[in-house]
Structure 1
Amino acid sequence: MDDTTYTKGLYTATIGVRAIDGGQFQGLVSLARDDGEATDATIYEVEATSQNEDEALEEARALAHRILGEIEL
């Protein structure tokens, strides 16, 4: 699966999913700031777990939109 990214100004959020114990999945968001120097990324985890990868990806997408929506340029 290709990485899905969302951008706002200098910030890029990349969403993903990881498998966790018990056959559950958790959505992840990697938020990076590209200011021309070294790029550091912060990883955010969706609090809830999901039964399948698609649900976890939707949760990660929603989290990415919330995070980017809170950033003031």
Structure 2
Amino acid sequence: MDDVTYTKGIYTATATARPLDGGQFQGVVSLDRDDPDDPENMVYEVETTSASEQEALDEAKALAHRILGEIEL
């Protein structure tokens, strides 16, 4: 499944789903700050697991929206 990318100012959030043991999936968001003087990369994990890759990706997309919504430029 393809990753989904969102951008706000110098921040880029990439939402993805990763497989876990037992056939479960977890949503993950990678947040990158594109600042040549002070780059930053943070990884956020959705707290719950999902039975399907699509559900995990949907949870990751929601998390990415929340993270970017909290950023003040």
Q: TM-score, normalised by structure 2?
A: 0.91
**Inter-partner Cα distance in structure 1 for 2:42 and 2:64:** 12
Matched, 1:59 2:63: no
Shift of 1:4: 1.4
Aligned Cα root-mean-square deviation (Å)? 1.3
Shift of 1:20: 0.8
Match of 2:8 in 1: 8
User: In percent, how many aligned pairs have the same letter?
Assistant: 68
Match of 2:50 in 1: 50
Shift of 1:29: 0.1
What do residues 8-34 of structure 1 show as CA deviations (whole Å, max 9, x unaligned)?
111000011111121100000000000
Structure 2 contact 15–61 (Cα < 8 Å) conserved: yes
Unaligned 5+ runs, structure 1: none
Shift of 1:38: 6.2
Q: TM-score, normalised by structure 1?
A: 0.91
Matched, 1:21 2:6: no
Q: 1:72 to 1:59 in 2, by over 3 A?
A: same
Structure 2 contact 2–16 (Cα < 8 Å) conserved: no
Poorly superposed stretches of 4+, deviation over 4 Å: none
Q: 1:10 is matched by which residue type in structure 2?
A: I
